[in-house]
């Protein structure tokens, strides 16, 4: 069966990618023993960065928060980032707006997190990040993930409700004079915990932490799992529409050819591009806009899965699935580069 072959080919492609990606990760990805930071003034930010942070500053001002420090971590290889932390004189929780992206490429993640420290050295955090971390949670670090919540007011309300049960631990205000010292201690605790979990290992020669095979395989599992990110009903409906378009066009195209007879030829597209091919390309663009860094995986699968339930005339070669995935990936990369802030 053609479709079964396509899905089988997809898994072979995934396995091949893992076989290449894991050794590269082990060789290239590393973390410093200690973080180095550079504080920034507004004059050192780009117009796009100032505009992005100004929107958050305005919303947080209404909640009684003011910017405390803007900075970036400078010694994480292959990473660009920008962080701004806000504090309140009436609320012990602080807020951090963070932008993180690969040094090169379109991938960039923006998220907001509220953090409350307690007297017993534990902390509670609420974040709207949309990515899944490959690291294990630390003891006494309580995290609530509210993926996709862009409303800062709602995120703060959720954080307040989340931290209510931890109030007996004694919330403490952020000491702005020793803030980076506190962050250094937290970073040290984090990497030590990951070493214990065998997700990091310390390289005493280079004085840095390296990821392990366990971490790399976990990351690849996430990358090839289309359901690892939160799916909203709207996104599911949009995905089904994307999947249906090329199949429906292929069915109509095949039906018209059947009516015209076995010797009929019908391009029905633009130039050398047939109508079914064009429909797969359009669906690929939509998948790239919708699924971003998971666009190739989702587009490839969406091109295959509907044909499992439709007549054989809707079948297509693996090339069509690959085309849809590639168009989705290119769309994501072009859009991602235009939206980059760091």
Q: Is the pLDDT of residue 52 over 80?
A: yes
Q: Read off the pLDDT of each residue in 65-82 and give the average, rounded to a whole number.
A: 94
Tokens of 34: 């200690």
Q: Provide the pLDDT confidence category of residue 306 given band limits of 50, 70 and 90.
A: low
Task: Return the closest-CA partner of residue 321 out of 308, 311, 334.
Answer: 308
Cα 118 from chain centre = 30
**pLDDT > 70 fraction of the chain, expressed in percent and rounded:** 82
Q: What pTM did the predictor assign? A: 0.78
In this structure, the number of other CB atoms found within 10 A of the CB of residue 76 comes to 17
Which residue from 200, 208, 219, 73 is spatially nearest to 134, judged by alpha carbons?
Answer: 219
Do 112 and 155 meet the contact criterion of CB atoms below 8 Å apart?
Answer: yes
Is residue 314 classed as helix, strand or coil in its secondary structure? helix
Predicted local distance difference test score (pLDDT) of residue 191: 96
Kindly state the tokens that stand for 268. 């029905």
CA angle 40, 44, 50 (to 5 degrees): 90
Identify the top-confidence range among 6-15, 232-241, 262-271. 232-241
User: CB of 201 within 8 A of CB of 33?
Assistant: no
Confidence band for 1, pLDDT divided at 50, 70 and 90: very low
Domain map (residue ranges) of the chain = 34-174, 229-339
Element (H, E) at 252: helix 233-260
- Residue 80 β-bridge partners: 101
82 close to 98: Cβ distance less than 8 angstroms:
yes
Q: What confidence tens digit (pLDDT) does each residue in 98-134 have?
A: 998 876 766 678 899 999 999 999 999 999 986 667 8
C-alpha span between 32 and 18 (Å, rounded)? 25
Residue range 212-266, pLDDT digits in tens: 999 999 888 877 776 766 667 777 777 777 777 777 777 666 555 555 555 555 4
- Determine contact, residues 283/299, Cβ cutoff 8 Å: yes
Tokens found for residue 281? 């390309």
User: How many CB atoms lie under 10 A from the CB of residue 258?
Assistant: 11
Closest CA to 10 of 326, 291, 223, 322: 322
What pLDDT was estimated at residue 86?
Answer: 98
Please provide residue 109's backbone torsions phi and psi, each rounded to the nearest 5 degrees. -125, 135
37: Cβ–Cβ under 8 A, 6 or more apart, which residues?
A: 71, 72, 73, 74, 180
* Residue-by-residue DSSP string for 99-145: EEEESSSS-EEEEEEEEEEETTS-EEEEE---S--SSPPPTTEEEEE
Tokens of 206: 């280079």
- Cα separation, 103 vs 76, in Å, equals 10
Chain centroid, CA 201 distance in Å = 25
Grade residue 3 by pLDDT with cuts at 50, 70 and 90. very low
Q: E-strand spans in the chain?
A: 30-32, 37-39, 65-73, 79-88, 94-102, 108-118, 123-127, 141-145, 171-172, 200-203, 208-211
State the first-to-last Cα distance of the chain, in angstroms, to the nearest integer: 47
How far apart CA 200 and CA 32 sit, in angstroms, is 12
Average pLDDT of the chain to the nearest whole number: 84
């Amino acid at each position: 069966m053609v479709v079964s072959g396509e899905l089988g080919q997809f898994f072979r492609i995934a396995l091949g990618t893992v076989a290449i990606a894991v050794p590269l990760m082990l060789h290239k990805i590393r973390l410093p023993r200690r973080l180095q930071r550079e504080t920034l003034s507004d004059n050192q930010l780009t117009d796009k960065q100032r505009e992005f942070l100004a929107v958050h500053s305005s919303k947080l001002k209404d909640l009684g928060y003011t910017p405390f420090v803007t900075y970036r971590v400078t010694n994480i290889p292959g990473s660009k980032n920008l962080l701004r932390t806000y504090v309140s004189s009436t609320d012990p929780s602080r807020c951090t707006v963070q932008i993180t992206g690969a040094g090169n490429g379109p991938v960039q993640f923006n998220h907001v997190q509220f953090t409350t420290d307690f007297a017993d050295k534990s902390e509670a955090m609420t974040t709207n990040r949309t990515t899944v971390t490959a690291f294990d949670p630390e003891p006494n670090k309580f995290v609530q993930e509210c993926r996709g919540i862009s409303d800062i007011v709602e995120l703060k309300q959720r954080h307040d409700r989340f931290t209510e049960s931890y109030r007996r631990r004694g919330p403490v205000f952020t000491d702005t004079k020793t803030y980076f010292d506190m962050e250094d201690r937290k970073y040290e605790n984090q990497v030590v915990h990951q070493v214990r979990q065998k997700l990091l290992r310390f390289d005493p020669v280079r004085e840095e932490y390296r990821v392990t095979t366990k971490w790399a395989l976990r990351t690849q599992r996430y990358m090839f799992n289309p359901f690892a990110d939160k799916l909203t009903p709207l996104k599911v409906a949009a995905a089904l529409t994307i999947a249906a378009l090329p199949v429906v066009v292929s069915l109509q195209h095949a039906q018209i050819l059947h009516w015209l007879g076995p010797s009929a030829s019908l391009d029905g597209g633009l130039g050398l591009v047939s109508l079914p091919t064009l429909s797969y390309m359009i669906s690929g663009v939509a998948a790239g806009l919708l699924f971003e860094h998971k666009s190739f995986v989702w587009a490839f699968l969406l091109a295959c899965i509907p044909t499992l339930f439709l007549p054989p005339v809707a079948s297509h070669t693996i090339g069509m699935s690959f085309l849809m995935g590639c168009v989705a990936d290119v769309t994501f990369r072009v859009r991602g580069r235009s939206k980059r802030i760091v």
